[in-house]
Amino acid sequence: MISSLDASALGFLNGMAQIQQRAQVAQQQMTTGLKINAVSDAPDQISALYETRSQLAQTQQIDTNLSRVTSEVNTAETTLSSAVTLVERAQTLASQGDTGTATASTRQDIAGELGGILQQLVSAANTNVAGRFIFAGDSDQQPPYTIDLAQASPISAYQGSAATRQIQGADGSTFAVAQTAQTIFDDPTGQQNIFSSINNLRVALLNNDQAAIDAAMPSVQSAGTYLNQQLAFYGNVQDRLASETDFGANYETQLKTQLSGIEDADLAQAITEMQQAQTQQTAALAARAQLPKTSLFDFLG
């Protein structure tokens, strides 16, 4: 198509379009706070922009996961600390029941208190955090144990499963964050079975059976040492989580700074650009208005 405009008019319009484009870009930067609002704004930076955003989103998700797991681990550590106290009380009661002066009635009373300790230990094994039974392994939607002291074997078989869940740190490493209640309280080999140790002593005291009491004593006395080892596991996990959380926070700050450098607008520069565009636009219009306006009729007069 042949334009009816002369070269001067076309040049003026093109210049005005460029000034308006610069003003629009500056206005968008001031409005959004970003210097990249479309791929065309900085095509050479888009790859770095998307990669940094992805890394930041991943790091923030990892931080969220670490926070949730930290709550579970802290609860587990507190729960096992209380369980250690319960076992220490059971050891004290065991010593009282094993004396030669202990009567059948006294042993009945001690057995009753041991039964209460068993119930509290089972309750500890069934600890629930945000809808998860944290000692039930991967089968965390049901309590790992039930207890009925009226039964010959008062504590049920373990209802959970193995604990295979791993948590990922911001540095990319993964680590285990939980033990099962079976590992902690109910070792299936019977070598460190806290439930069985206390229950065997309870039954021996109920029966006023000195030989059975003597046989039950060693495992009760060693139960505390074993439980403290399980408590130490959670203490180590707490330290690891704290370290990973700190690393993640620092890395997130680094990524935000990097992202800001890529996409954040220089508002002072954008304001200056807008002012310059407005000044140039005003000057161009004024200059255009001063051009002589002639037509064919001016030459025919």
Ranges of residues in the chain whose predicted pLDDT is under 50:
1-2
The rounded distance, in Å, linking the Cα atoms of 85 and 70 is 23
Question: pLDDT for 197-230, tens place per residue?
Answer: 999 999 999 999 999 999 999 999 888 888 999 9
Please tell me the predicted confidence (pLDDT) of residue 103: 94
Please tell me the predicted confidence (pLDDT) of residue 141: 95
E runs forming strands in 57-157: 128-129, 132-133
Please tell me the predicted confidence (pLDDT) of residue 23: 62
CATH 1.20.140.10 given to domain 50-259: no
Distance from chain centroid for Cα 224: 32
**What are the percentages of helix, strand and coil residues in the chain, rounded to 5?**
70, 5, 25
Do residues 35 and 42 make contact, with C-beta atoms less than 8 angstroms apart? yes
Domain boundaries, the chain: 7-35+265-288, 50-259
What radius of gyration do the chain's Cα atoms show?
38
Please tell me the predicted confidence (pLDDT) of residue 293: 63
Question: pLDDT for 191-206, tens place per residue?
Answer: 689 999 999 999 999 9
The rounded distance, in Å, linking the Cα atoms of 138 and 150 is 30
Please tell me the predicted confidence (pLDDT) of residue 41: 67
The rounded distance, in Å, linking the Cα atoms of 181 and 232 is 15
pTM here?
0.74
